[in-house]
Amino acid sequence: MAGDPYGWPVLLALVLAAAISFVSSNIFIDDARDQLILREKYMRFGSQIVMQEQEKKANRRLMALKKMEISEALKTQQFPPSMHFFQAKHLMEDSQVFHIIRKMPKGAALHLHEFGMASMEWLVKNVTYRPNCYFCITPEGILQFKFARPAPPNPSAGECSNWVLLEEHRKNSKNVTEFDNSLLKAFTMVTKDPEKIYPSEEAVWKKSQNILLSISGLVRHAPVFKDYIFQGLKEFHEDNVFFLEIRTMLWPVYELNGETHDQLWVVKAYEEVIQEFSRTHRGFMGLRLIFSEDRNKSIAIIAHSVQKAMKLRELFPHLVAGFDLVGREDTGHNLYYYKEALTIPVMHGVKLPFFFHAGETDWYGTSIDRNLVDAMVLKTTRIGHGFALTKHPILRAYSKEKDIPIEVCPISNQVMKLVSDLRNHPAASLMGSGHPMVVSSDKPAIFGAKGLSYDFYEVFMGIGGKKADLRILKLLVMNSIKYSSLVQTDKDFYMKVWKDRWNKFIEKLARRPR
Amino acid sequence: MAGDPYGWPVLLALVLAAAISFVSSNIFIDDARDQLILREKYMRFGSQIVMQEQEKKANRRLMALKKMEISEALKTQQFPPSMHFFQAKHLMEDSQVFHIIRKMPKGAALHLHEFGMASMEWLVKNVTYRPNCYFCITPEGILQFKFARPAPPNPSAGECSNWVLLEEHRKNSKNVTEFDNSLLKAFTMVTKDPEKIYPSEEAVWKKSQNILLSISGLVRHAPVFKDYIFQGLKEFHEDNVFFLEIRTMLWPVYELNGETHDQLWVVKAYEEVIQEFSRTHRGFMGLRLIFSEDRNKSIAIIAHSVQKAMKLRELFPHLVAGFDLVGREDTGHNLYYYKEALTIPVMHGVKLPFFFHAGETDWYGTSIDRNLVDAMVLKTTRIGHGFALTKHPILRAYSKEKDIPIEVCPISNQVMKLVSDLRNHPAASLMGSGHPMVVSSDKPAIFGAKGLSYDFYEVFMGIGGKKADLRILKLLVMNSIKYSSLVQTDKDFYMKVWKDRWNKFIEKLARRPR
């Protein structure tokens, strides 16, 4: 090329000269590079874990599969953590990594909501097939259910259509499968085209609230309620999760004749189910309740609930772990608004652990975004979501120093439209600096998920990046026991039981042919 | 409610008791809270800036508008930074905040690519209307252009269709507007349904490469080339941007008779245009070139280019600022691969500033993700994008300490599918900790944007959060001068000139009626 400042002969001479001094240059570059890379490596979540020989073997197997699946994804342009869960779910279920995660003993699920635990398929195929089940449709098109004998009096006009006996309706329906699918559609958020169907955060929150309204009459029927909790425990147990902490509002529960039961009854019902489940499921470690109230309520009501939580914790110390506020943060009151109510325990010298949702928002610099600081000032035990934490350097450092973990629920955050590509989830940055965290699934049933495995998969394959290995999985699981509300002796016991399970899992994984 | 652990009278008594001790409780809570909030406030990007009286007035006006527009967005569920730019653009153009940003003197645009500077409308309405312009269509459906006299020989079969004289084709076309729109469609990525049209990062990159292929024959025609650069400067000048740094590959440029000009000619053409533009545009501060090479090339070619950059910088010290590698990081070689080539300057004791693209990826833990460490080890002056920086705590701290700014290009990152809701852009977290940064627009023309204002709007309204005020705008602008490649005396001069402009802008803004 004319005017080329260097011709090729000159170039070659220069490259040669460079090659001669290359050794010293590279030592310099490589040294600085290695130092920076090493410092990051040692900081990363899980890096402190030293793997035993068998774990190293198992890890090689796991990482080979992970690598293969990522390569495959690069070819097909279908990488599940980058896709919406509704579209990625079937891909995950084909993944060998996912099946290993399913089998992995996962410790505890610490962020769950009561009525999103058990799969909606079970609700449709089991509960709606029970006798004495009626339904009506509100003017907004929301299904409502009620179990009753005799038939319930019809709702007042404008509230709901007349009650229809479900059994009869199904008998007369031309296509039962189609009818059951329409129920399932009403009970979950799953859709083929989530971007279209849910154009805004309002739309997803509206739908999730409608689901709760719909299933409320089903799950709050006394016999169903106990079966529902049992079914939830069963699904988590099948997913190798043996301890659960559940946010519950302790809604009143009703009988066929319309009689309702209060919150004490509900807590006792939990106790019964736990006992029954423990009897039939070896290795089950229990369940604890985080009594929760709606963050749209008045200060007086929250004050009342805080005191109720104090009382319940006194009455059921083994069962009631503490208190939280639930509902959409962006449209509710912030924690500071309730400070009189939330400082009642400390004012009375009573211990009431808090497990506050905070920072489940994309809005930066709003009063809601302040929930993170308020949660910490109010000495929260853990932070529900903490999605906004990376925007707050001081709170990030503070929570790390005080060892306050965040409860990361990737699929929930994605479905609720906080983030689309999960490789961008802020937990990636927090993992980079070894921030304390656990993984949970929030309300898996309404997202069409089950147990914890789908969320663990997202973290392992997407959020943790290409290098995340067995150590991050192990730390996440150990964290779920460490940061649970169990007393120390129970934690120690569970950790011991879990370690046996873990070793068996590792042995099997290490033994699998390549 | 039966079984309620506390009745209302007890509750009231407790609330009263709480209210009495409320003062002391609140002092405690509020104190800790205020401390944490203050510490974050002082850390935030722009917080060190002390506003003068007039600036405070202007800021009140600006923030009132910002608040109003956010409230409006909450009502309509249409918040531009949360939406795809293609869908949000018309909303921005209706925004009063946007129009203030347009008028604001914005300093410098430091991250731009040569052939994405000037609007494609101009290319269609001006360049394709010039005589002797031919086009053909490749088997993949990509338009190619060539200016020639006499008519160019037809391409070999399988490469492109026969050349068609554009002038004639347009004359015979039934609907010229439609034809021109089809050209515009081929020259930009804009579409009504970006999610559908671009399902993957591959798809967006493919399209952006096709655009470059299409316009190449237009913009590399010698007379067009000079006009194109002039038009680019004009559009930035209209957007109140007075200094530019442009990544350029210095492609050869051709004449009507097929003769081609080499890189020296191209650099000289830039010089001419700058002179001409300065003569006609008061206050224009200039343009500098960052010579760039494709990161898919061989080590030998990169070595050659590095030396070319050294030579060009020697020949045109006022014009050539340094060197970079361009193209998609995820599919190109990483910087480390080229270390022999990139250490040639330091080996020869020659100063060649680097302006490396690094971390323009969602993939965490890959060899490409290492570009960030390599850029720093190779002593890059700035980091292009640095999108992945928040996943690297050590590199984040290192670049902050060494005062290496990132060049944030929000719209580019969104269109190229790194992030969808810009409130989640990692720069939000970096702003939270006062990380050095500038805002730029990458290739605004292919995104259907212009100048810097659209990107500034995204940062001000979305990334910076609700509280981001005039101070972050001022710091971003001052940073663009501070972190430019200008020598210190030129920086001082430009800063002085800019301050006069800024004061006038502030005065006007402060004076506007509420």
Q: What is the mean pLDDT of residues A292-302?
A: 97
Residue B397 confidence class, pLDDT cut points 50, 70, 90? very high
List the end-to-end C-alpha distance of chain A, in Å, as a whole number: 53
pLDDT at A505 over 60: yes
Nearest CA among B469, B498, B508, B444 for reference residue B117? B444
> Measured between alpha carbons, how far is B265 from B250 in angstroms, rounded to an integer?
9
Token code pair at residue B394: 């050590």
Average pLDDT, chain B: 94
Q: Give yes or no for B35 touching A (CB within 8 A).
A: no
Q: What is the mean pLDDT of residues A234-239?
A: 98
Cβ B426–A423 below 8 Å, yes or no?
no
Beta-bridge partner residues of A143: A137
Share of chain A above pLDDT 70, in %: 94
Interface of B with A in 204-243 (CB under 8 A): none
Minimal C-alpha gap between A264 and chain B (Å): 6
> Measured between alpha carbons, how far is B366 from B377 in angstroms, rounded to an integer?
17
Minimal C-alpha gap between B384 and chain A (Å): 18
pLDDT at B5 over 80: no
Token code pair at residue A222: 């006394």
Interface of A with B in 105-164 (CB under 8 A): none
pLDDT at A2 over 50: no
Q: Which of A362, A369, A390 sits opposite B390 (nearest CB)?
A: A390
Task: Give ∠ CA B431-B436-B438 in degrees, rounded to 5.
Answer: 90
Q: Give yes or no for B392 touching A (CB within 8 A).
A: yes
Nearest CA among A172, A246, A206, A229 for reference residue A485? A246
* DSSP secondary structure, A48-113, as one string: TPPPPHHHHHHHHHHHHHHHHHHHHHHHHT--GGGS-HHHHHHHHHT-HHHHHHHHS---EEEEEE
Token code pair at residue B69: 């527009």
Cβ A33–B377 below 8 Å, yes or no?
yes
Q: Can you give the pLDDT at residue B367?
A: 86
How far CA A288 is from CA of A107, A439, B435, in Å, comes to 14, 17, 42
Distance, CA of A503 to chain centre: 25
Question: b/e for A381-407, b at 16 or more Cβ within 10 A?
Answer: bbbbbbbbbbbbbbbbebbbeeebbbb
Question: A142-159, pLDDT tens digit by residue?
Answer: 999 999 999 999 998 889
Cβ A29–B311 below 8 Å, yes or no?
no
A207's CB contacts (< 8 A; 6+ apart) are: A189, A198
Cβ A21–B390 below 8 Å, yes or no?
no
Q: What is the CA radius of gyration of chain B?
A: 26
Residue from B14, B336, B352, B366 to probe the interface with A (highest A Cβ count within 10 Å)? B14
Residue B29 confidence class, pLDDT cut points 50, 70, 90? confident
Q: Which of B262, B344, B432 sits opposite A4 (nearest CB)?
A: B262
What ipTM describes this predicted complex? 0.91
Q: What is the mean pLDDT of residues A362-367?
A: 90
The total of other beta-carbon atoms located within 10 Å of residue B198's CB is 21
pLDDT at B153 over 90: yes
Residues of A in contact with B263 (CB under 8 A): 1, 3-4
pLDDT at B337 over 50: yes
Q: Can you give the pLDDT at residue B1?
A: 40
> Measured between alpha carbons, how far is B509 from A48 in angstroms, rounded to an integer?
55
Q: Give yes or no for A421 touching B (CB within 8 A).
A: yes
> Measured between alpha carbons, how far is B344 from B347 in angstroms, rounded to an integer?
5
Cβ B33–A336 below 8 Å, yes or no?
yes
- Given B84, B113, B237, B385, which residue is catalytic? B385
The total of other beta-carbon atoms located within 10 Å of residue A223's CB is 13
> Measured between alpha carbons, how far is B182 from B124 in angstroms, rounded to an integer?
10
Q: Can you give the pLDDT at residue B11?
A: 59
Residue A3 confidence class, pLDDT cut points 50, 70, 90? very low
Beta-bridge partner residues of B290: B247, B322
Residues of A in contact with B18 (CB under 8 A): 303, 340-341, 343-344, 347-348
Q: Can you give the pLDDT at residue A157?
A: 85
Distance, CA of B53 to chain centre: 32
* DSSP secondary structure, B315-351, as one string: H-TTTEEEEEEES-TTTS--GGGGHHHHTHHHHTT--
Cβ A36–B373 below 8 Å, yes or no?
yes
Instruction: Specify the amino acid at residue A347.
Output: M
Residue A14 confidence class, pLDDT cut points 50, 70, 90? low
pLDDT at B6 over 70: no
pLDDT at B23 over 60: no
Token code pair at residue A281: 């499921």
Q: Can you give the pLDDT at residue B2?
A: 42
Beta-bridge partner residues of A253: A261
Q: Can you give the pLDDT at residue A64?
A: 97
Question: B414-438, pLDDT tens digit by residue?
Answer: 999 999 999 999 999 999 999 999 9
3-state secondary structure of A166: helix
Q: Give yes or no for B496 touching A (CB within 8 A).
A: no
pLDDT at B308 over 80: yes
Q: Can you give the pLDDT at residue B42?
A: 95
Give the number of A-B residue pairs with CB atoms closer than 8 Å: 251
Q: What is the mean pLDDT of residues A204-225?
A: 97
Do A319 and A267 contact (CB within 8 A), yes or no?
yes
The total of other beta-carbon atoms located within 10 Å of residue A363's CB is 19
Q: Can you give the pLDDT at residue B157?
A: 85
Q: Give yes or no for B82 touching A (CB within 8 A).
A: yes
B7's CB contacts (< 8 A; 6+ apart) are: none
**Strand B320-326, strand B286-294: pairing:** parallel
The total of other beta-carbon atoms located within 10 Å of residue B276's CB is 14
Q: How many helices (H) and strands (E) would you count in chain B?
A: 22, 13
Cβ A393–B18 below 8 Å, yes or no?
no
Token code pair at residue B405: 């700014």
Q: Which residue has the tokens 């250490």?
A: B343
Q: Can you give the pLDDT at residue B3?
A: 45
* DSSP secondary structure, A462-510, as one string: IIT-TT--HHHHHHHHHHHHHTSSS-HHHHHHHHHHHHHHHHHHHHHHH
Q: Can you give the pLDDT at residue B282?
A: 87
**Strand A243-248, strand A108-113: pairing:** parallel
Share of chain B above pLDDT 70, in %: 94
Q: What is the mean pLDDT of residues A181-198?
A: 96
pLDDT at A293 over 70: yes
Do B121 and B497 contact (CB within 8 A), yes or no?
no
Nearest CA among B32, A393, A377, A390 for reference residue A356? A377
Token code pair at residue B1: 């409610």
Q: Which of A4, A15, A347 sits opposite B300 (nearest CB)?
A: A15
> Measured between alpha carbons, how far is B289 from B320 in angstroms, rounded to an integer?
5
pLDDT at A409 over 80: yes
Token code pair at residue B226: 């000079």
> Measured between alpha carbons, how far is A89 from B170 in angstroms, rounded to an integer?
50
Report, in this order, helix, strand and coil percent for chain A, each rounded to 5: 55, 10, 35
pLDDT at B10 over 60: no
Interface of A with B in 354-383 (CB under 8 A): 362-366, 369-370, 373-374, 376-378
What one-character DSSP code corresponds to residue B458?
Answer: I
The total of other beta-carbon atoms located within 10 Å of residue B27's CB is 10
On the 0-12 / 13-18 / 19+ scale of CB atoms within 10 A, A101 is buried
The total of other beta-carbon atoms located within 10 Å of residue B13's CB is 11
Distance, CA of A373 to chain centre: 22
Q: Can you give the pLDDT at residue B455?
A: 98
Cβ A392–B432 below 8 Å, yes or no?
yes
pLDDT at A234 over 90: yes
Residues of B in contact with A37 (CB under 8 A): 370, 373
> Measured between alpha carbons, how far is B330 from B362 in angstroms, rounded to an integer?
9
Cβ B311–A394 below 8 Å, yes or no?
no
Nearest CA among B355, B311, B353, B356 for reference residue B332? B356
What one-character DSSP code corresponds to residue B463?
Answer: I
Question: A53-112, pLDDT tens digit by residue?
Answer: 999 999 999 999 999 999 999 999 999 999 999 999 999 999 999 999 999 999 999 999
Beta-bridge partner residues of B324: B292
Minimal C-alpha gap between A421 and chain B (Å): 7
The pTM of the whole model exceeds 0.95: no
- Given B360, B392, B425, B435, which residue is catalytic? B360
Token code pair at residue A211: 């689901």
B458 among known catalytic residues: no
Cβ B343–A423 below 8 Å, yes or no?
no
Tell me the CB-side half-sphere exposure of residue B253, using CA atoms within 13 A.
Answer: 23
pLDDT at A438 over 80: yes
Do A500 and A137 contact (CB within 8 A), yes or no?
no
List the end-to-end C-alpha distance of chain B, in Å, as a whole number: 53
pLDDT at B112 over 70: yes
Question: B437-487, pLDDT tens digit by residue?
Answer: 999 999 999 999 999 999 999 999 999 999 999 999 999 999 999 999 999
